[in-house]
């Protein structure tokens, strides 16, 4: 009896075209998922950085205001009032209300109010609002400033 020769030898190893295509499809689906994850993480990192800058600007403004209230509260006698960069008459004042950080200008708004009891104690209730460009980030810090 003659032995039949096999068209494909049993010892030959390799992948078929279908196996290669299936693995490429699976790999492309996984890479698309990883790419979308990287885009999301990048946007989250940028947003967190902007929020962190806004928080630090608000805290810094509040601390400077507590040390030197005259730099922010130009006229300490009339409350309530709102101070923005539009109320500034010089560049030094404007730089306090429009700080330029990380190639972006942030807008600070200081709202000061005083109740009769706070007036007796020489305190002013201050709300500092920091707003990023295009209103992407907003942060508020509230505290008291001694104006005696």
Which pLDDT score is estimated for 9? 62
* 90-137: pLDDT as tens digits: 888 788 888 888 888 899 998 989 889 988 898 889 999 999 877 677
Which pLDDT score is estimated for 79? 76
pTM value > 0.75: no
Residue 10 pLDDT greater than 90, yes or no: no
How far lies 90's CA from each of 50, 85, 129, in Å? 27, 10, 21
Please, what is the Cα angle at 79 between 84 and 97, to 5 degrees? 15
Measured between alpha carbons, how far is 127 from 62 in angstroms, rounded to an integer? 9
More confident residue, 143 or 85: 143
Residue 8 pLDDT greater than 90, yes or no: no
Measured between alpha carbons, how far is 32 from 49 in angstroms, rounded to an integer? 26
The 3-state secondary structure of 80-124 reads CEEECHHHCCCHHHHHHHCCEECCEECEEEEEEECCHHHHHHCEE
Which helix (H) or strand (E) segment holds residue 2: the answer is: none
């Amino acid at each position: 009896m003659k032995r039949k020769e096999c068209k494909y030898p049993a010892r030959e190893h390799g992948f078929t075209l279908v196996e290669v295509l299936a693995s490429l499809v699976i790999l492309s689906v996984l890479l698309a998922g990883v790419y979308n994850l990287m885009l999301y993480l990048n946007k989250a990192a940028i947003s967190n950085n902007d929020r962190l800058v806004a928080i630090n600007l608000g805290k810094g403004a509040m601390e400077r205001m507590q040390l030197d209230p005259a730099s922010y509260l130009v006229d300490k006698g009339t409350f309530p009032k709102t101070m923005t960069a539009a109320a500034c008459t010089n560049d030094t004042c404007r730089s306090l209300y429009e700080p330029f950080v990380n190639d972006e200008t942030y807008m600070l708004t200081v709202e000061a109010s005083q109740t009769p009891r706070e007036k007796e104690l020489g305190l002013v209730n201050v709300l500092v609002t920091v707003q990023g460009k295009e209103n992407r980030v907003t942060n508020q810090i509230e505290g008291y400033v001694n104006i005696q």
